[in-house]
Structure 1
Amino acid sequence: MSNPLALLALAGAAVLAFHKRKAIKSSLHRFDYKYKVSDDMTFLFPIAYQAVRHAYQTLISHRYNQFYDIEKTATSKKYANKVAINYIRLKPGKRYQTDGDEAFAIQQYTYKEMYDIVLRLSYILHEEYGINKGDTVTMYFMNKPLFIFIWLALWNIGALPAFLNYNLKHNPLVHSINVVDSKCVLVDSSDCSKDFKESEDEIKKVLPGLNIYYLDDAEMMKRLSDPAAPQFRQIDSIRDKDVKAYSPALLVYTSGTTGMPKSAVNSWRKVFFAAYFFPIPMGMNDDMNMYTSMPLYHGTGSILGVLPTFECRGTLSLGHKFSVSSFWAQIRLTHSNTIQYVGETCRYLVEAPENDDSRYCYGKVKLAYGNGLRMDIWTKFKEKFGIPAIGEFYASSESPFATTCHEVDGNGVGAIRNNGWLADRVFSYTLYTLVRMDPEDDNVIYRNKKGYCEEPGVNEKGELITKIWNPKNVKGTFPGYMNNDEATYSKVIRNVFHQGDAWVRSDDLMRRDELGNIYFVDRLGDTYRWKSENVSTTEVENEILALDDIEYCAVVGCKVKNHEGRCGYTVIQTVNKNREDEAQRQEVLDKLADRVFQHLPHFARPCFVRFDMIELTSSHKISKKRFRDPILPAGKSGKQQVYYLDNRAKKYCPLNADLYEQIAVEKIRI
């Protein structure tokens, strides 16, 4: 090979081969980036395994209660002494800003300790409170281990827990307890008794036979920590009797369009999917230490927070309440490597000044997951705190399935789903898809000349719908709402893509991009999302119309500069047809402020109000069409007088451009 020409030719061939391999590798990378084949192959076997497990559970064992799995973990040699719960909260009278780490108290419970406590609590609930298999028990609790212990104890007994939003008062609270035929209510006396007692007379008037038990956290935990205290474990055959995959496992309340909260049934099948399927695309395993301060009464904190963590045999680090100032301190003190969020919390953290705790935690959190993370915050959040992976999901309290987006390389920023092409095809036929909307009305699903729906084009808006596997048994897939068949079946549409099929409407508009990623666009109809809560416009309107001065009102969601979601914006027409002078209008506004502060949770109070004449349709219904998408601070004309809710003064005050800019930068909080 001494011939220079031969050597040159060989070298050229080697360079050519190198560049060819590089080009092929680059093409394969682009192909995988677009179609995510490697992700699909990674998920294939774990998902297939869990599908077989669920089939075995459904067809053979008929053992759906996840108490069994937690019991198995707690009694295993490998995990019995592993920490199941870290609970961190401020000591009474302490502030992290002044007291540092000494401000916090941390309680730890291993899986075995948690299991023993659950059995002791089961004895108290069963023997002393008379709770039995099949009873519905309503819980009015803040975040704390006792919430989880009660939940698991009820599962042990075979009872049904209902998680109440502790912000509810008066009519919504009474309705929420009544609608589920609750056997009793367990109230967190340490943190929630004041608000609950405000409505207790109203509750007893409607439900005179209802038992209400106030549980003191310190006193109860002292009893439950006593090794000599008696335990109760329900007989398996009693616990499992008449339980199906679609039977209720727990109840979570959701706002709707009927004017009051609805109790969404979360079946054993749904919680199985949450516990075993959800962790697969999120990359969760037994090394995870997941910090959440999201309220456990929400499905986000409980169903997609607690359950996946326990079923992965990880550690749940539970915060009492979200705090921007001490968030990273709590991550540091609990040694968390995974965090849960809702979109607004991420924005607060990004906008907060850097401190020693956030610098210490940089790169230590490997996954942040939740829902509602805005596209413009997403990458900033990752970069500021050194978080390699974001796990965004979309789910509703009543929805039978969830979508997932696990973003590590930019593919899926802002999306609620970024599965690969193969998973997309499978899910579109078996779980969920999008349908095109009527060009003239985003609230109406389009049907072609044959009467069938169509999937929207790339980046075209469409409503997300989920598939009902057996159209003859809707509740087998979609249990819907407790004791409310009308609301349940109103969400079901039939003959969608072919004769006889059935799907569930989400009431949310989405779009699919050229890579197949799905993005949330907006909510439909009479519900909007504010402060991570769904708000029923009808519920708010009913409270406002209780005032004698107001003849009609229309509540819509309003976008506010630099704020997540939509806040409440109310248009009112007085009984005097808005002929009041400014002083008289202020009197009406003062009465309105008093009403909303007394009867509505903070997230449902209308942030903005204006006076206007309200038209009725031919069927005597209020037409909201011209009020939707209001423009702040003074309407499209720039001449509308709008009033904003001053939370400090607890009154509505005139809004102007300067005040609106202060709201936009959060110098004034709404």
Structure 2
Amino acid sequence: MPVPLALAAPAALAGASYLNARLQLSYDWYMIGSAIKSQIKMGINEKKDKLNLFYVLEGYAASKKTADNICLIFQGRQWTYKQVYQTVLKQGTWLKTRYGIKPKEIVAMNFMNSEKFIFMWLAIWAIGAKPAFINYNLTGKALAHCIRVSTSKIAFFDAEVRSNVTQELRDELPGIQFEVFTPELEADIAAIEPVREPDSTRTDDKASNMAIVIYTSGTTGLPKGAIVSWKKIIVGTGIVCPWMWMTQKDVFYTSMPLYHSSASVLGFCTALSIGATFSLGKKFSTKTFWNEVRESKATYIQYVGETCRYLLSASPQFDPATGENLDKKHNVKVAFGNGLRPDIWNRFKERFGIDGIAEFYSATESSSASWNFSRNDFSKGAIGRGGSIAKLMAGGLVEFVELDWETEMPWRDPKTGFCKRVPKGQGRPGEVLYKLDPDDISDKFQGYWNNKDSTEGKIMRDVFVKGDAYFRTGDMMSADNQGCTYFNDRIGDTYRWKGENVSTNEVSESFGTHAAVHEANVYGIELPHHDGRAGCVALVLAEEPSDRLMHDLAKHVHAELPRFAVPLFLRLTKQLETTGTNKHQKQVARTQGVNPEKVSGDELYWLKNGKYVKFSKQDWEELNGGRVKL
């Protein structure tokens, strides 16, 4: 019998909705459409020789519709697009006339977050030069190394970090001119008649050409200068805005450091690309974060690493006049960033009333990225997601491969010499590789400035067939059968104990679900007279340690983890060492191990008979003397 239209239409709609949800068709279509549009935009800019984002700023400053829109907010002050543009022209003229900076030259910047950072950066672009962003926390040889690698002839320092310019630094770099950006210099710039350099000054023939040098954190050696191309900026920002529904009316807030690509490229450049407002915090603090978010009326906030955990651990703020809890009194619609762990994902959303999480995975030098926009529990904790269309289009471009845990390199078949794929959709971890064009590596991966060996070290060749090439992420990930990708661990962070591989991420999350744990940093340590690395966790607790609490922690992690993954040692500390982007530092803690003389007064505990008890100097001496076998 024919089905009545009144019944057929809803049935068809329900069927279509089911297929859309199951195959994630609309999500893929929107995401892939954004990527295609950004690629087209990049191609047009390349053809017009207008890759430089100076032209984006100029376009908004010149338009009557947007010239007076707020471009930048910092510490209660505001600058319109027109004001930023005029300041940038003045400063660019000053850089060229006073210091003779030429197109394509690299200019080193050692600045804290402020409007000065933005103006200096855009002024360098305005005269066709390229900035090198240097972490202002670096000093001595590490700082000298970054300036030397940049090939810059002049290094500008924020007046607030003038102490970085030591005699030691001058002696290390005798040919470099050091300039502290003082209020007097700012006054000189304000008095200059601006000159707009001709377009030929900013010429760049390829989208893969350098736009910025941004340094890696250098946690396992000296920092490397990653080359950030125009392509990465244009395509990346072109994806981000529509993917997380950001428009020109929005305000994007970050207090992450601008010397890192998260804040500079995916923060400021994203806002600039659509003419939105960029609100900047000087540095991250739980005391100032939400106040600045509220004052700037931010609709998007950025997090990196443990940012959300710190915000969640902080006490609620109350209105001094009314006593109202201010946790949800803001305009934020979306939190955007990377490193929001599954154990606090929903707790963060619920406490602060945030609807959407825009989580991504990438690295400054990476040739690709993954994206997960989530409004519900479907993709909670995932660093990427994709449906049937995405799977089809990404086939061969992203691969998961088996790892040889002894060498920490992708495993190769002794007979063929090729790597082995890890089947996707089964939740098994593998190192993620991104496909490169073997005949044009620099199209997707520009490598490290002035560091050929490190660049080659990130490229794998002859992976599945002779002549192919892939970018090594150095990260272990897994994918489920619903198209979600999860971060497992950084290669080098995973440690091997009693013949088993232990994921620091998994252990950290198990501790993170205990109510008394504020923070947990997990790492493997070498012990005398033992093979492999034993698990150790540096903990910040919400309460003072007691026998009851330490026993409860042991019971909790035994219930959460396989026996071999339960850490043998705990190190109780008041504050964990982090990078400028709120990622835990592990290298120093690994080196110190559990020698009581090296742990700076922190309390040590170890696992005995299924409980955590105090680890004394005498215990260390017995362990060191080979009288204890773990």
Report the TM range for the smaller structure's normalisation. Answer: 0.7 to 0.9
606, 609, 615: which is aligned to 1:634? 606
Matched with 2:384 is: 417
CA contact (8 A) 1:508 1:521 kept: yes
TM-superposition CA deviations, 1:190-209 (whole Å, max 9, x none): x2122x03xx2222222101
Gaps of 5+ in 2: 320-324, 496-502, 513-517, 529-576, 596-602, 621-630
Matched with 1:250 is: 212
TM-score (normalised: structure 2): 0.77
TM-superposition CA deviations, 1:347-404 (whole Å, max 9, x none): 1222223233663744621111011001111111111111111000111121122221
Within 2, Cα distance between the matches of 1:642 and 1:26? 61
Matched with 2:67 is: 80
CA contact (8 A) 1:256 1:527 kept: no
Identical-residue share of aligned pairs (%): 35
CA contact (8 A) 1:511 1:519 kept: yes
TM-superposition CA deviations, 1:410-442 (whole Å, max 9, x none): 221111111332123323444x3322334x558
1:230 and 2:193 correspond = yes
CA contact (8 A) 1:342 1:371 kept: yes
TM superposition shift of 1:244: 2.3
46, 58, 79: which is aligned to 1:71? 58
| Matched AA of 1:606 | V
Q: Report matched runs for 1:276-287 at 5 Å.
A: 276-287=238-249
CA contact (8 A) 1:427 1:433 kept: no
Quick one: structure 1 residues 328 and 24, their matched pair in 2 at CA, closer, same or farther if it must change by over 3 Å? same
| Matched AA of 2:249 | D
Q: Which range moved further: 134-143 or 252-261?
A: 252-261
Q: Report matched runs for 1:530-549 at 5 Å.
A: none
Quick one: structure 1 residues 310 and 112, their matched pair in 2 at CA, closer, same or farther if it must change by over 3 Å? same
Quick one: structure 1 residues 240 and 527, their matched pair in 2 at CA, closer, same or farther if it must change by over 3 Å? farther
1:344 and 2:306 correspond = yes
1:135 and 2:122 correspond = no
Q: Report matched runs for 1:48-197 at 5 Å.
A: 48-58=36-46, 60-88=47-75, 106-189=76-159, 191-194=160-163, 196-197=164-165
Within 1, Cα distance between the matches of 2:192 and 2:494? 48
Within 1, Cα distance between the matches of 2:317 and 2:594? 45
Matched with 1:540 is: none
- CA RMSD, Structure 1 to Structure 2 (Å): 3.4
CA contact (8 A) 1:257 1:526 kept: no
407, 410, 420: which is aligned to 1:453? 420
459, 462, 466: which is aligned to 2:434? 466
Within 2, Cα distance between the matches of 1:307 and 1:428? 30
- Secondary structure of 2:294's match? helix
| Matched AA of 1:408 | R
Q: Report matched runs for 1:588-607 at 5 Å.
A: 603=585, 606-607=588-589
TM-superposition CA deviations, 1:428-485 (whole Å, max 9, x none): 444x3322334x55823234554243143420001121221x2123223211111111
Quick one: structure 1 residues 453 and 360, their matched pair in 2 at CA, closer, same or farther if it must change by over 3 Å? closer
480, 488, 495: which is aligned to 2:462? 495
| Matched AA of 2:169 | I
Quick one: structure 1 residues 352 and 526, their matched pair in 2 at CA, closer, same or farther if it must change by over 3 Å? closer
Within 1, Cα distance between the matches of 2:326 and 2:446? 46
Gaps of 5+ in 1: 1-8, 89-105, 529-555, 574-596, 613-630, 645-653, 655-670
Quick one: structure 1 residues 565 and 54, their matched pair in 2 at CA, closer, same or farther if it must change by over 3 Å? farther
TM superposition shift of 1:557: 7.7
| Matched AA of 2:208 | Y
| Matched AA of 2:236 | A
| Matched AA of 1:87 | F
- Secondary structure of 2:262's match? coil
1:33 and 2:21 correspond = yes
Q: Report matched runs for 1:176-575 at 5 Å.
A: 176-189=146-159, 191-194=160-163, 196-197=164-165, 200-216=166-182, 218-224=183-189, 226=190, 229-240=192-203, 243-255=205-217, 259-356=221-318, 359=326, 361-362=328-329, 364-430=331-397, 432-438=398-404, 441=406, 443-448=408-413, 450=416, 451-457=418-424, 458-468=426-436, 470-525=437-492, 561-562=511-512, 566=521
Within 2, Cα distance between the matches of 1:359 and 1:26? 40
CA contact (8 A) 1:447 1:454 kept: no
CA contact (8 A) 1:57 1:63 kept: yes
Within 2, Cα distance between the matches of 1:341 and 1:460? 28
Matched with 1:650 is: none
- Secondary structure of 1:131's match? coil
Quick one: structure 1 residues 421 and 223, their matched pair in 2 at CA, closer, same or farther if it must change by over 3 Å? farther
